[in-house]
Structure 1
Amino acid sequence: MHTLSGQTVLALHAHPDDESIFTGLTLRRLADAGARVVLVMATGGDLGGSRLPLEPGETVPDRRRRELTDAAALLGVHRLVLLGHRDSGLPGGPGLRHPRALAGADPVALGRAVAEIVDAEGAGTVLHDDDAGIYGHPDHRAAHAAGAIACSLTGAHGYRMTVDREHLALAARDRHLVHGAAHAAGVGYGRVTAEIAVAVGGGPAELAVKRSAMLAHASQIAPDAVDEAGFAAAYGYEWFLPGENTGGRARGGVLEALGNAHLLAGTR
């Protein structure tokens, strides 16, 4: 595997736990290869609730921020930035009308805020949601727009995170958390295999770290939802499309430098 010392990668996510679910392997492997990893979290996941009792005086965002800090440490994140927007909730829900809802934020202003972090960190690469928001969540769509604008403003190499729904249908049989999220929202999810540019895999050590990072979000994720027996099948790859500013090409970025990042059909 090539060294990525001197490289900085910024990952922009909508909610705490998205970083572990959709890019946990990738962030850990980038950090292990020597890259500086900056994680930007747009919301506090306010509307996610908590499956566990909160401490006296503790709010859901308080708990989720603490869990995010623990997960980020496991994934090798060097700097965590919180943008402070509010979770917008599912499509059509009342959370969309909140004045601080991420989905209602001015996308240009949001993109400029992310671009300022990209410039301050000297990040050459930005990971952000695909234009469909992976499973149509309005906050993921907002994170896509912000990431795309930040790449356009700074010239950073973009990757759009997604999931391969054909792979998951065959290998995971609805055991990935995105299945439940898409079902709750009443929407489809992901892309077909032919659309995927890069799939980043991991070995047993990286998979164990990813699972631990997901379980750090204990208010959201129960251990039986990510059982060890089926974990590799559901979470053993993370998938990316080329950013809009790459002209549809995936070659030449940091993800291709990871030892078992695979360039897939249709992107050569």
Structure 2
Amino acid sequence: MISTPDLRGHTVLVLHAHPDDEAIFTGITLRRLADAGARTVLVVATAGELGGSRVPLRAGETIPERRLAELERAAELLGVSRLALLGRRDSGLPGWADARHERALAVADPLQLARDVAEIADDEGAAAIVHDDEHGIYGHPDHRAVFRIGATAADMLGVTGYRVTVDREHLHVSARDRHLVHGAARAAAVPFGRVTAEIGLAVTGTEAHLQNKRAAMVAHASQIADDDVPVDGFASAYGYEWFTRSGARGPLDALGNAHLLAPVPA
């Protein structure tokens, strides 16, 4: 049974690299935190400029404009209290020349961006900062940068850091080639995630939370088509969100730990 803790008075800052990462990797967590009364601050480092668009843009519309509009809609669905942008540029996949662009997140000063994130977190009184793990989940340069930024910001403030990952063993058993991270890892030509034994926390949700997460994902229509995330099997692929932790137990732990390949309702 999934209970709703009382997290009123708690604030959690969630840092991601691109629009849509928040829904794919932390959509259930964000919604459950909001439902529990926590204030959630979503900070996104880039506008995902290099993601292209799978839908036609309006006359005069740019990809960053479309992606940020989609991000705002997804954030609303996930109950985000505040959305902030770091204003860096998408670096592209490993080896792309875009990573050397002067505005690219991959070449930005991580210490300065960590100070920026720490300032937001401090102003908000955040008890925890959620960010990608040291592998960047699947090795994307921007996700690796988000690890450096988020981990440093958490250390600066002495708050709990939750590091986003995926359980590749679970996905191999329950959702082989059905999670978007599979295609992303192939494109990046690197391994993804962690083995089950390395993961300390898995957050899951009710059927309503899963439906909300799916709606937030497909709100990013320029990146995620409806048939990319079929309802049949969605829970197996996206029903858990995985984290390791640095520091003391914090608000995400209060959501309960569904770790170790437990079945998720179809």
TM over 0.5: yes
C-alpha separation in 1, matches of 2:79 and 2:145? 25
Q: Is 1:220 aligned to residue 223 of structure 2?
A: yes
Would the aligned equivalents of 2:160 and 2:249 in 1 still touch at CA under 8 Å?
Answer: no
**Aligned twin of 1:205:** 208
1:2 Cα shift? 2.0
What is the deviation of 1:227? 0.2
User: 1:160 aligns to what?
Assistant: 163
TM-score normalised by the chain length of structure 1:
0.94
Question: In the aligned structure 2, how far is the partner of 1:262 from the partner of 1:220?
Answer: 29
Determine if contact 1:201/1:237 at 8 Å carries over to the other structure.
yes
Residue aligning to 2:249: 252
- Shift of residue 230, structure 1, vs aligned partner: 1.1
**Separation (CA, whole Å) in 1 of partners of 2:37 and 2:10:** 8
**How do residues 95-244 of structure 1 correspond to structure 2 at under 5 angstroms?**
95-243=98-246
Deviation at 1:255?
Answer: 1.3
Return the alpha-carbon distance in structure 2 between the equivalents of residues 58 and 261 of structure 1.
42
- CA-CA distance at 1:264 after TM superposition: 6.0
Counterpart code for 1:253: G
Give 1:84's aligned residue.
Answer: 87
Structure-2 separation of matches of 1:179 and 1:263: 21
Distance in structure 2 (CA, Å) of the matches to 1:2 and 1:235: 22
Distance 1:2 1:54 in 2: 42
**How far 1:261 sits from its partner (Å)?**
2.5
Aligned-pair identity (%): 65
> Is 1:14 the equivalent of 2:11?
no
Structure 2: unaligned runs, 5 residues or longer: 262-266
What amino acid does structure 2 have at the position aligned with 1:262?
A
Contact 1:198–1:264 (CA<8 Å) still a contact in 2?
A: no
SS at match of 2:85: strand
Shift of 1:262: 3.2
Structure 1 portions without partners, runs of 5+: none
Pairing partner for 1:261 from 251, 257, 260? 257
Q: Give runs of aligned pairs for residues 44-83 of structure 1, distance below 5 A.
A: 44-83=47-86
Corresponding residue for residue 24 of structure 1: 27
Q: Alpha carbon RMSD of aligned pairs, Å?
A: 1.2
- Letter of the structure 2 residue corresponding to residue 50 of structure 1: S
Aligned-partner Cα distance in 1 for 2:49–2:257? 34
Query: Could you tell me how far apart the structure 1 residues matched to 2:57 and 2:139 are?
Result: 29
Aligned residues: 258
Question: CA deviation digits over 1:80-120, x for unaligned, max 9?
Answer: 00111000000000110110000000111111110000111
Task: For residues 4-46 of structure 1, give each alpha carbon's deviation from its aligned partner in whole angstroms, at most 9, with x where no partner exists.
Answer: 0000000000000000000000000000000000000000000
Rounded to whole Å, the distance in 2 between the matches of 1:156 and 1:115 is 10
